[in-house]
Amino acid sequence: MSAVEGSGPTTVVVTTAGAPQTPDTIRNLQRQGYRVVATDVDPAAPGLYLADRCHLVPPGTSGAYLPAIRGICLREGAAALVPLVDEELGTVARLAEDGIAVLLPHPEFVATCLDKYALMRRLADAGLPVPRTRKAAEWTGPPADPLVVKPRSGRGSRGVVRLGSADRLGALLAGTEGPADALIAQEAVTGTEFTVSVVAWRDGGVQAVVPKQVVLKRGVTKYAVTRRHERIADVCRAVQRELRADGPFNVQLALDAAGEPRIFEINPRFSSTAALTRAAGVDEVGGLLRQATAGGPQLADDWREGVVLVRRWADEFVDEADFAGAGLDPAAASPAEPALGVGP
């Protein structure tokens, strides 16, 4: 099936309606004239009630997820899908077989990034700066050095433990269940942290690199500010050159004692700070969407430094009929579990 036909607005499916960045993404696309369909596993996800239509889906790790999201995209006549959570990324690329533009890097890049140990090895082999990384059970190094221990696969700050010294690693591993190679250990890079939007698409060119200094992070970035940093931009461009994402990705790095950026993670999707990238002058979501669905122009690497993101709660207002129809009963004490495919 091909993408949307006819004279109506182009339909875009945006996943993870409960993520901090999704309501802004929905509103931004609606302002540009798109019809937005939102999905989430949780009926209380705020973005569901801001979209033009919404659906509940199984978890991205479930075998039922791909048939569900494919059915939604086809029934809604979606031209494109914007996936925003790691658990879905390895699956949704297959929707391209249905003529749906999936705004992700190539599947090989996605798979590498979702395995944090494989990613660090791949970057190191390419000569890119990374912290020393080993499987946690195989770590050797000065016992006084601080470490970061994290799941080999996972997202955000879930399961990340910072150890003041490596000699505490043994006790941590002794109290951890699961396979011995499920955790990795990295030397802690304690300098300024950056989260970087890298805008690329299928021709392989880097259209923009927007570094954002992380001011406060609690699971997700709460406060950040755009900063020009040529060495960071060079390193991020080298990631695209060496690994060929050919799609949007987010580089997380920190400066070491010598001021050298060291990459400690890459998210093969749009960043949770994409709204800050847009506010600074580069609309990576809208721009790549136009390129993927309508042959739109490339974005320019032209943005303002010193733009600050202050992430906060925001009140939104919808009609009660739409709210109840989308899955929540205002009279109930707790959210009800509606069936898949609900929508205003």
pLDDT along the chain (344 residues), means of 10: 58 95 95 97 93 95 96 97 95 96 98 97 98 94 91 79 91 83 93 98 97 91 96 98 98 97 97 96 98 97 98 85 70 44 45
Residue 327 has a pLDDT of 66
> So what's the pLDDT on residue 156?
63
DSSP one-letter code for 10 = P
**Given this model, what pLDDT does residue 320 score?**
84
Q: Quote the pLDDT of residue 7.
A: 64
Classified by CATH at the fold level, domain 190-310 comes out as D-amino Acid Aminotransferase; Chain A, domain 1 (3.30.470)
Q: Give which of 24, 72, 9 is closest to 274, Cα–Cα.
A: 24
Q: What is the pLDDT of residue 27?
A: 96
CA separation for the pair 265, 87 (Å, rounded): 16
Architecture in CATH for domain 132-187: 2-Layer Sandwich (3.30)
CATH code of the domain occupying 11-102+314-325:
3.40.50.20
What are the boundaries of each domain within the chain?
Answer: 11-102+314-325, 132-187, 190-310
Question: pTM higher than 0.85 for the full model?
Answer: yes
Q: Which two tokens stand for residue 294?
A: 């309508």
Q: Is 31 left (phi over 0), alpha (psi -120 to 50) or beta?
A: alpha
Q: For residue 106, which of 252, 268, 239 has the smallest C-alpha distance?
A: 268
pLDDT for position 330: 57
Which tokens is 300 given? Answer: 């320019």
Per the CB < 8 A criterion, the answer to whether 86 and 269 are in contact is yes
Report DSSP state, residue 93. Answer: G
33: tokens are 């004239």
Separation between Cα atoms, residue 246 and residue 205, nearest integer Å: 8
What local confidence, expressed as pLDDT, does residue 157 receive? Answer: 67
Residues 6+ apart with CB under 8 A from 72: 13, 37, 39, 55, 57, 78, 341
Q: Which amino acid is at 255?
A: L
How high is the pLDDT of residue 335? 43
